[in-house]
Amino acid sequence: MCGRFVSATPPDEIARFFGVTETSETVLEPNYNVAPTTDIHTVLVSGGARRLEPVHWGLVPWWAKDLSVGNRMINARMETLAEKSAFRRAFTKRRCIIPADGFYEWHKRPGHKTKQPYFIERVDGEPLAFAGLWEVWRGADREGPPFPSATIITGPANEKISAIHDRMPIVLPPHAWDTWLDPAVGDLDLLGQFLVPAPSELITMHPVSTQVNNVRNVGEHLIDAVEVAPNGDEPG
């Protein structure tokens, strides 16, 4: 799964990198510990334009009775996108890219009570393009104001990440962006070709402080590498 990530690149730089033509006036502050149920940047196509929009992290299906459903929808498994009612329509019509400067995974080591967090990023420092889905909820009566939300698609980990965790976000290569974002593309077999683990050589990772476990910690220091003692504890 992907439960925390980093979003620190300024919106104007994200827009240039992803070829965005329209940007929301809402500005999200840099956050080195983005947690579920907060607002996140998404690149999506709406009204024929590629937009950078802040949306709620935790997809709320159009049929949901209340917003709490989104708390269980922060990730969508690639294996069941076309089957689950929460994601099926979005997979067909509402796909997005979720920009990230990196993400965290926790390694459960035998014999240690505390999981060791790792920060994972691109080797070239460029943003990761997480494959995502988005939806618009208008209340249980479907007549309320629009509430946009999104989820991150996950799949099996590549060889490098599998050393610490068995799953990872799907990272889309640039050549897939146009097709993935195009709401007119409904060929699920074609879209499924993009749902593969990112190459191991694309990413690098290192252990970081367990301070990232607390969502109140959001500073840049969270991605600093730490040494891990043989007993699994961070040196004092």
Catalytic residue among 25, 53, 83, 105: 105
Catalytic residue among 2, 53, 96, 121: 2
Nearest CA to 26 out of 59, 64, 56 is that of: 56
Please check whether residue 103 is in contact with residue 120, taking contact to mean a CB–CB distance below 8 angstroms.
yes
**Among this protein's residues, is 2 annotated catalytic?**
yes
Task: Sort residue 19 into left (φ over 0), alpha (ψ -120 to 50) or beta.
Answer: left
CA distance 29 to 95: 24
H/E stretch holding 180 reads: helix 177-181
Contacts of residue 149, Cβ cutoff 8 Å, sequence gap at least 6: 55, 56, 57, 58, 59, 60, 70, 73, 134, 135, 136, 137
CA distance 168 to 198: 9
Query: Which is it for the CA torsion 52, 199, 101, 39, positive or negative?
Result: positive
**Among this protein's residues, is 96 annotated catalytic?**
no
CA distance 235 to 155: 33
Active site members: 2, 105
